[in-house]
Structure 1
Amino acid sequence: MPQTTFNTIDTIDLAGKRVLVRVDLNVPMKAGKVTDATRIERAAPTLKELAAKGARVVVLSHFGRPDGKRVPEMSLKPLVEPLAAALGKPVAFAEDCIGPLAEDAVRTLKPGDVLLLENLRFHKEEEKNDRGFVDKLSVLGDVYVNDAFSAAHRAHASTEGLAHLLPAAAGRLMQAELEALDKALGNPRRPVCAVVGGAKVSTKLDLLGNLVGKVDKLIIGGGMANTFMQAQGIAVGKSLSEKDLGKTALEILDKAKAADCRVLLPVDVVVAAEFKAGAPSRVVDAKACPDDQMILDVGPKSIELYKQEVADCATLVWNGPLGAFEIQPFDTGTVALARAVADQTAAGKLLSVAGGGDTVAALAAAGVEDKFSYVSTAGGAFLEWMEGKALPGVAALIRAA
């Protein structure tokens, strides 16, 4: 998606304006404390810039799934302190996101001030994209900025509805995400390689179907690879595999062949009798998995093959680990390929974009999460984008542009 199709905060006069900024502050919490502030830190640059430009910044976010009820444990109030720390300035808080409490809090803002409103999902109308609720939100602002790509696959009041009522723009995080994704699959430098791993083919059918028509090479790893191997008559022992999807796997391989996309499956694998830390394991040919063993990672020959294939590419997208990376030594394949991609990226030879929960965790475990060109923390939105689906939150910004 070319960046020219949506407004950015460079294109709107913000001084003195009340700017409603949709961010994603749905962070992990334990005992009322934030345990991972990544999303807060990623939201901070846009909020800082808006405040520095003299905007009256009104922050909107959801937290958890309160199902339209006021759930004290899902209040955004505990986020005031960590958000203020990330911004280096005080953050006010309103006990509601619409109505008199929110309106009074907004009214007291001076240029450069920041206000966090209470959890949007305390109102069931948020997820229903209810027009009346959108109206109540819109009276709080003069301009709407969406900086929550991670929620852009949902057509909610704060992610889609507001863009139709107020001058709308993408925040810096949304802008960076859209520009990275465009370079990766929208208008990429070729050859393009996709790495798709994870446990099940069933969760990634749309993804694989879309990718084989867009990339030059597709590396399939994780439990998914077992399903593809089994579909071709290769025994996989006790490995995780979806036998009922064999026909679908063969159809994807046929589609890839027709699209001139090379599909790469493991040539050797690491097997063990059980999936637990320290379980005895060994490397066998991909076609020689014993009946009483399970495949838990790709082997050294596969790793070298994948490294060579990636070395010939200009662009790479990655979603999902190659093996059971949560437990050593079954993280070896994922870590080795991730580090090779990071090295290629650092050398300026590769544009690398990765995303999805397990993927981010795997790259962090490999120590390279900041060494890819772009790592998306968006989860579902990233996956739907890779599947080729239109994201309502993004589409609304384009229509508003």
Structure 2
Amino acid sequence: MHIKSIKELELSGSSVFIRCDFNVPMDEFGNITDDRRIRSALQTIRYCLDHDCKIVLASHLGRPKGYDEKYSLKPVAKRLHTLLKQDIIMAKDVIGEDAKKKYENLKNGEILLLENLRFEKGETKNDPEFAKELSKFGEFYINDAFGVSHRAHASVEAITHYYDQDHKGAGFLLLKEIQFFHHLLKRPTRPFVAVVGGSKVSSKLKALINLLPKVDKMLIGGGMAFTFLKALGEEVGNSIVEDDLIQDALNIIDEAKKLGVKLYLPVDFVVSQTFSEDTPIKYVTYKEIPKGWMGLDIGPATVRLFREALNDAQTILWNGPMGVYEMDKFARGSFQLSHFIAQSYATKVIGGGDTADLVQRAGDDEEMTFISTGGGASLELIEGKTLPGVAALIVENGD
């Protein structure tokens, strides 16, 4: 399998359409609170600038239903202007008159940013007609949006059919993400430990099954731990449980035993009766969760147990928080684990989404080896899937 890199294309002096992932978090005033995804795209953009290209950038933001000023990419244009120290021409639409006119007048070395792709229905429907219109914004197509490459959307999949293999390729960020996960799953330095959390087993089931034969230890926390504990016959109170996956949880426990993989589950929890900031909490062992109470974070004994398990790790893959970290009361377990992983000498890979947000809130993002820009996309790579946006860039006669 060979994915064509931007470096293999003859870009000089031409026009380039770059699909970026500028789906950044914003506060209620429209200020960007974390610009990691924008900064991650700079290497590809600068490479095209160095090759004297006309550059058209495209991205989605949020999940708007048609045009909605709240989801405009104007704040992204401002941040790009600050980071690149050059003017960004902002289109008022995606494939409308304004975008077309601005593209016609675009000069080499200039950058045009289209409005939010999801203002157009055709984007999420993978509409070939919409994709065809987008393809008119560049002689070359570059996908650098790892965070959406697991989605067969018009700007990710359908558009690639309008370019031959000499005119489409992957940007630096996309290649880095794929190579990192490929190396991680094929040739990890051992011991290799996976830390898996989040609320539901269902969203991580395939990833757990695919990871088991590859890891030496697996640590399971977050809401998904209660499905495993219930499968083992424990009382979990009102904690989140997916009853239809209890058999799957037992199968994973059995498979881990067969493979000699050490599986760790939490031994204590922070529990409360309601999910709110001012609710009373208790610290209890997994044997003592009271009826009517729910576990919302791992307890101090579990933090110690998980730290012991991670002590000799040479590679750590972390996907999913240990509790409801957005609320201070239930963030401690996740934060303490984050601090410990950050201090480890292991290769530390953070699987995008909530986990990336969590390590940033904990102030540990600079210490991690690699933080993926895509939660869902990194999960699908861990599941062993080929992403639609990546499949479209594979060169048949490559090595």
* TM beyond 0.5: yes
Matched, 1:57 2:72: no
Matched, 1:357 2:346: no
Report the counterpart of residue 323 of structure 2 in structure 1. 323
Q: Flag the 1:294–1:256 CA change in 2: closer, same or farther, 3 A.
A: same
Distance 1:281 1:194 in 2: 29
Q: Flag the 1:35–1:140 CA change in 2: closer, same or farther, 3 A.
A: closer
Distance 1:291 1:118 in 2: 51
Q: Flag the 1:281–1:33 CA change in 2: closer, same or farther, 3 A.
A: closer
Distance 1:107 1:326 in 2: 46
Q: CA deviation at 1:394?
A: 1.2
Report the counterpart of residue 143 of structure 2 in structure 1. 146
Amino acid at match of 1:340: F
Amino acid at match of 1:263: L
Partner-residue secondary structure (3-state), 2:394: helix
Distance 1:104 1:296 in 2: 53
**2:24 pairs with 27, 40, 45, which one?**
27
Distance 2:284 2:333 in 1: 14
Partner-residue secondary structure (3-state), 2:45: helix
Identity %: 42
For structure 1, the 5+ residue unaligned runs are none
Report the counterpart of residue 198 of structure 2 in structure 1. 198
Q: Flag the 1:54–1:273 CA change in 2: closer, same or farther, 3 A.
A: same
Distance 2:238 2:225 in 1: 14
Deviates more, 1:14-23 or 1:261-270: 261-270
Q: CA deviation at 1:140?
A: 2.3
Partner-residue secondary structure (3-state), 1:57: strand
Deviates more, 1:288-297 or 1:114-123: 288-297
Matched, 1:125 2:122: yes
Residue deviations 1:268-304 (CA, integer Å, cap 9, x gap) = 3333444443644443332233335433332333222
Q: CA deviation at 1:373?
A: 0.9
Distance 1:164 1:189 in 2: 39
Residue deviations 1:84-111 (CA, integer Å, cap 9, x gap) = 1222100112334336543432232222
Report the counterpart of residue 391 of structure 2 in structure 1. 395
Amino acid at match of 1:156: H
Report the counterpart of residue 45 of structure 1 in structure 2. 43
Partner-residue secondary structure (3-state), 2:393: helix
Report the counterpart of residue 269 of structure 2 in structure 1. 269
Q: Flag the 1:61–1:238 CA change in 2: closer, same or farther, 3 A.
A: closer
Asked whether the equivalents of residues 227 and 241 of structure 2 are also in contact (C-alpha less than 8 Å), the reply is yes
Amino acid at match of 2:169: A
Asked whether the equivalents of residues 22 and 61 of structure 1 are also in contact (C-alpha less than 8 Å), the reply is yes
Report the counterpart of residue 116 of structure 1 in structure 2. 113
Partner-residue secondary structure (3-state), 1:352: strand
Asked whether the equivalents of residues 27 and 33 of structure 2 are also in contact (C-alpha less than 8 Å), the reply is no
Distance 1:94 1:116 in 2: 6
Partner-residue secondary structure (3-state), 2:184: helix
Deviates more, 1:241-250 or 1:14-23: 241-250
Distance 1:267 1:29 in 2: 36
Asked whether the equivalents of residues 128 and 159 of structure 2 are also in contact (C-alpha less than 8 Å), the reply is no
Asked whether the equivalents of residues 183 and 189 of structure 1 are also in contact (C-alpha less than 8 Å), the reply is no
Distance 1:194 1:358 in 2: 16
For structure 2, the 5+ residue unaligned runs are none
Q: CA deviation at 1:223?
A: 1.5
Asked whether the equivalents of residues 99 and 136 of structure 1 are also in contact (C-alpha less than 8 Å), the reply is no
Q: Flag the 1:32–1:171 CA change in 2: closer, same or farther, 3 A.
A: farther
Residue deviations 1:345-385 (CA, integer Å, cap 9, x gap) = xxxx3111112432122212321122111112312212222
Report the counterpart of residue 240 of structure 2 in structure 1. 240
Distance 2:69 2:134 in 1: 22
Partner-residue secondary structure (3-state), 2:271: strand
Amino acid at match of 1:255: E
Distance 2:235 2:267 in 1: 13
Q: Flag the 1:135–1:329 CA change in 2: closer, same or farther, 3 A.
A: closer
Matched, 1:91 2:88: yes
Q: List structure 1 runs of 4+ shifted beyond 6 angstroms.
A: none
Asked whether the equivalents of residues 278 and 328 of structure 1 are also in contact (C-alpha less than 8 Å), the reply is no
Report the counterpart of residue 307 of structure 1 in structure 2. 307
Partner-residue secondary structure (3-state), 1:10: helix
Report the counterpart of residue 284 of structure 1 in structure 2. 284
Residue deviations 1:231-280 (CA, integer Å, cap 9, x gap) = 11112233332334322211222232333322111123333444443644
Matched, 1:370 2:344: no
Distance 1:101 1:276 in 2: 47
Q: CA deviation at 1:319?
A: 1.2
Amino acid at match of 2:388: P
Residue deviations 1:158-195 (CA, integer Å, cap 9, x gap) = 11233343322221221221222223224322222111
Q: Flag the 1:64–1:248 CA change in 2: closer, same or farther, 3 A.
A: same
Asked whether the equivalents of residues 27 and 34 of structure 1 are also in contact (C-alpha less than 8 Å), the reply is no
Residue deviations 1:189-244 (CA, integer Å, cap 9, x gap) = 22221111122223322222222233221111012111111111112233332334
Q: CA deviation at 1:342?
A: 0.9
